[in-house]
Amino acid sequence: MPLHAIIDRVTDRIRARSIESRAAYLAKIARQAEDGPRRAHLSCGNQAHAYAAMPDKDDLVGTRKPNIGIVTAYNDMLSAHQPYERYPDLIRRAAHGAGATVQVAGGVPAMCDGVTQGRPGMELSLFSRDVIALASGVALSHDTFDAALYLGVCDKIVPGLIIAAATFGHIPAVFVPAGPMTSGLPNDEKSKVRQKFATGEVGRDALMAAEMASYHGAGTCTFYGTANTNQMLMEFMGLHLPGSSFVNPNTPLRDALTTAAVQRAAAITRLGNSYLPAGEVLDERAFVNGIVGLMATGGSTNLVLHLPAMARAAGVILDLEDFHDLSENVPLMARVYPNGLADVNHFHAAGGLGFMIGRLLEAGLLHEDVRTIAGGGLGEYVNEPKLRDGRIEWVEGARETLNDKILRPASDPFAPTGGLKQLNGNLGRGVIKVSAVAPERHIIEAPARVFSDQEQVKAAFKAGEFTADTVVVVRFQGPSANGMPELHSLTPTLAVLQDRGLRVALVTDGRMSGASGKVPAAIHISPEAAKGGPLARVRDGDLIRLDAVNGTITCLAPDFETRIPEKHDPAASSEGLGRELFAAFRAHVSPATEGAAIVV
């Protein structure tokens, strides 16, 4: 199938916008690669320090075996990352069998947004992405590695690792997933218990039992939030092995896929004949493919922040218009919670990413002619891995959906568009995700209630103050104000109001979680209020119109443009739980439209 005209047009627009930055980037990584394996240029003393604890150090000194560096986000508090505890030993065995050596180059922090939701620690969450990129840079700065394996799954971890992989773009990069936990209490049942707790219908014991039954073991949370969107993205962008994203942890197939990832990393170094630097994988076509995957699966809005930052690290400049135009032309092919009742295990069983990639390629909605770690183009990713006699074989994946309530072809989608809309108006520029929002709620016009944090909203709810249609404005939640925390803990409160028959919406310069859904939310509004953006001029009672059909966000108050903005008081977010350490980040972060980043 010829490439769809809009895919071609958006790709050309990105390429033209990035022509200077991408050329400079490619020249940089070419200079870094030109001398061959860097460790060969280290002094004897340098090398002795680097290999002192390795049992197979003589292999590095006396042979041309590739040395693979592991950058790991392992910790055993995050269920998604706990399986990585046993990966280094597994990887060492696989590397030895592949004629390579391997070292854990360094660890990166990995915080859990599920633990910090609604807490001060969430104000460090977005900035942790840049810390991860910096920590990865330190790990790889020893300049002794021919390829890198990146072990990470969750919200900020994969984007941070991608920024690092792009920065060290002369080094081949293979991303190694850990997989989702097995299915527990269905996500919709858990959500109902949360809403009942918010209204006082059940107590904390019932809430705790539901949460523990849902989040119950090792692996990624099973809803389609940011973590699982990251895993999708790595497959659509050719940085995972085909079909590897959603295989459960600690299974024979999962271990075999990890072994295969090591073998592939060893094969694509500059020492062999299949050199594949990460910077050549991460081109404008790969990022377009990633955005297409985001829209077709109904993925997390957090990636609208992360993808521009990731792309900038590779010299590629993305804009909100790219997301909007692709969303308008890419059909929604999946219904996974919160956009449906299924979880990612059900999605995988129904045909998963291989089915989606195959059908999108047939529709001309993906670039097939990209470089991937699998060795060929994106066509390799219609195949799925099978374990036969202890070895991985890739066979043709499902060509027909195995459950059309979860997964449909591009020719018969759940919706004709991806459901992500760019918003523009006198309140600024932002986005809204409507794939889980009922069509009759795509336009909300109601008086504003203005708050400076989410706790104020919950207090007003408990006091019974929401009795009419309302646009809840939560400002001073942008990256410069307090690190742009997710406001996911507002979801049960706003959902209750909506279920009571009120027309409600959220407007904020902050973020909402990838797990948020049915309440219309205009998010990432930029310029942010703390920088004097328009949200700082909104007052209680102003009529706000959120129109996701026409892509507008407007305050209808007649004197709106002439008002003096309210000032932000940074005191509430300046200290406690490490927030003191991130003052420089808040002072220098880029706007949300550019990825809310420090390092790119």
pLDDT at 36: 64
pLDDT at 389: 87
394: pLDDT strictly greater than 90? yes
Dist. CA 374–CA 398, nearest whole Å: 19
pLDDT at 38: 67
> What is the percentage of the chain residues whose pLDDT exceeds 70?
98
Mean pLDDT computed over every residue of the chain: 94
pLDDT in tens, 293-339: 999 999 999 999 999 999 999 999 999 999 999 999 999 999 998 88
With bands split at pLDDT 50, 70 and 90, how would you rate the model's confidence at 64? confident
428: pLDDT strictly greater than 60? yes
The binding site comprises: 154, 221
Mean pLDDT of 266-274: 94
The end-to-end CA distance of the chain, in Å, is 36
Mean pLDDT of 73-96: 96
Q: Which residue has the tokens 């060509």?
A: 399
With bands split at pLDDT 50, 70 and 90, how would you rate the model's confidence at 1? confident
Mean pLDDT of 83-104: 96
- 156, 125 Cβ separation under 8 angstroms: yes
With bands split at pLDDT 50, 70 and 90, how would you rate the model's confidence at 572? confident
pLDDT at 172: 98
pLDDT at 189: 87
514: pLDDT strictly greater than 60? no
pLDDT at 552: 98
With bands split at pLDDT 50, 70 and 90, how would you rate the model's confidence at 50? confident
The binding site for [4Fe-4S] cluster comprises: 154, 221
pLDDT in tens, 15-46: 999 999 999 999 999 999 987 666 777 788 88
Dist. CA 400–CA 393, nearest whole Å: 21
For residues 98-129, b (16+ Cβ closer than 10 Å) or e, as one string? bebbbbbbbbbebbbbbebbbebbbbbbbbbb
pLDDT at 222: 93
**Considering all CA atoms of the chain, what is the largest pairwise distance in Å, rounded to the nearest integer?**
77
515: pLDDT strictly greater than 60? no
With bands split at pLDDT 50, 70 and 90, how would you rate the model's confidence at 589? very high
377: pLDDT strictly greater than 80? yes
Q: Which residue has the tokens 């094969």?
A: 267
Dist. CA 125–CA 354, nearest whole Å: 31
User: Half-sphere exposure (CA, 13 Å, Cβ side) for 124?
Assistant: 21
Q: Higher model confidence: residue 389 or residue 108?
A: 108
pLDDT in tens, 125-177: 999 999 999 999 999 999 999 999 999 999 999 999 999 999 999 999 999 99
483: pLDDT strictly greater than 80? yes
Mean pLDDT of 73-78: 95
